[in-house]
């Protein structure tokens, strides 16, 4: 059996428990559910809220270099600290935070395989005590949006050039049957469907029942069977960019694709964009 391309970025729950007191390690919980951290978290873990901490509060964009430095410094993360992310929803937001950290070139980052659900399922310890660390003086690199982030104009050119896109939403969203769940407010986009040429490979196909990533061979087969191969320039998208950061992580770090980007504007931008081409069978 082959190995993940970057096995060092994925750690298990047992490994994390063994390293709880490692002073050079910071564990960071990133959830969709904003109060789950308060319900109980891995002892010593800090909270990073994707909405409050990582996003610009006014413009639809991410924090800038100063903001990033402030977030890390306030969590006691120094330039030599390794950060292990974990969270709910099979690590959607953990991989999203990981991706935002990579915009700033933060290399000492890992994901706890299986996320919060696996830690809880294994009855590992949880704490309600808020972890506090002395502030550090973190110095960040400038944010670089050119390598792993895609913008709508780039996606337009990508489509025109016939390059592959992965739509990681549910098949119902992909087919334009749903903008959201049936019977509920169909909000978030004016139109349903998918970006022309995009292949539908739901993010969940990459994980097992317990939330851990499938084996390298299984992942390779999953994407290869849809024509998503490492020699290509690949863009992943979903509704707001969180599920697709999960797929981005799998393609880039587990399969080692050299060029894969996350289109964080995703369907909430494309499905609202005037004259944007849409495929809907």
Partner 1 sequence: MERQEYIEFILDHYQHPRNKGALEDPDMLVNGGNPGCGDVVTLYVKLDNEDRITDIRFEGHGCTISMAAASFLTEMVNGKKLDEIRQLDYQQLIDILGPEVVKSRLRCATLAMDTLQGAAREYPSRKATGQKLIQPIVLTHTLLTE
Classify the phi-psi angles of 197: left when phi > 0, otherwise alpha if psi is within -120 to 50, otherwise beta: left
Binding site for partner 1 (CB under 8 A): 32-36, 38-39, 49, 51-52, 89, 169-173, 178-188, 202, 204, 239
Least distance CB 90 / partner 1 (angstroms):
8
Report the residue number, 5 or 222, with the smaller CB distance to partner 1: 222
Least distance CB 158 / partner 1 (angstroms):
25
Least distance CB 35 / partner 1 (angstroms):
4
Least distance CB 69 / partner 1 (angstroms):
22
Q: Of 159, 238, 251, 260, which one is the catalytic site residue?
A: 238
Catalytic site includes residue 30: no
Report the residue number, 79 or 186, with the smaller CB distance to partner 1: 186
Residues known to be catalytic: 238
């Amino acid at each position: 059996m082959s190995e993940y391309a970057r096995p060092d970025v994925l750690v298990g729950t047992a490994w994390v428990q063994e390293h709880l007191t490692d002073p050079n390690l910071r564990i960071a919980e990133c959830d969709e559910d904003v109060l789950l951290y308060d319900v109980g978290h891995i002892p010593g873990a800090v909270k990073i809220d994707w909405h409050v901490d990582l996003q610009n509060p006014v413009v639809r964009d991410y924090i800038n270099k100063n903001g990033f430095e402030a977030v890390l410094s306030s969590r006691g993360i120094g330039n030599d600290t390794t950060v292990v992310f974990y969270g709910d929803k099979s690590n959607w937001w953990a991989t999203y935070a990981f991706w935002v950290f990579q915009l700033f070139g933060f290399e000492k980052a890992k994901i706890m395989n299986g996320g919060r659900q696996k830690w809880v399922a294994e009855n590992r310890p949880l704490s309600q005590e808020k972890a506090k660390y002395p502030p550090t003086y973190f110095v960040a690199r400038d944010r670089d949006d050119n390598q792993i982030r895609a913008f709508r104009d780039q996606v337009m050119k990508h489509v025109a050039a016939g390059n592959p896109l992965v739509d990681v939403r549910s098949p119902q969203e992909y087919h334009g049957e749903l903008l959201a769940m049936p019977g509920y407010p169909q909000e978030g986009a004016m139109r349903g469907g998918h970006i022309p040429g995009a292949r539908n490979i739901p993010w969940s196909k990459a994980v097992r029942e317990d939330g851990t990533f499938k084996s390298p061979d299984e992942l390779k087969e999953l994407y290869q069977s849809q024509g998503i191969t490492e020699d290509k320039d690949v863009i992943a998208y979903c509704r707001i960019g969180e599920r697709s950061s999960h797929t981005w992580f799998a393609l880039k770090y587990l399969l080692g694709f050299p060029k894969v980007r996350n289109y964080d504007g995703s369907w909430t931008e494309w499905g609202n964009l005037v004259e944007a081409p849409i495929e809907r069978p």
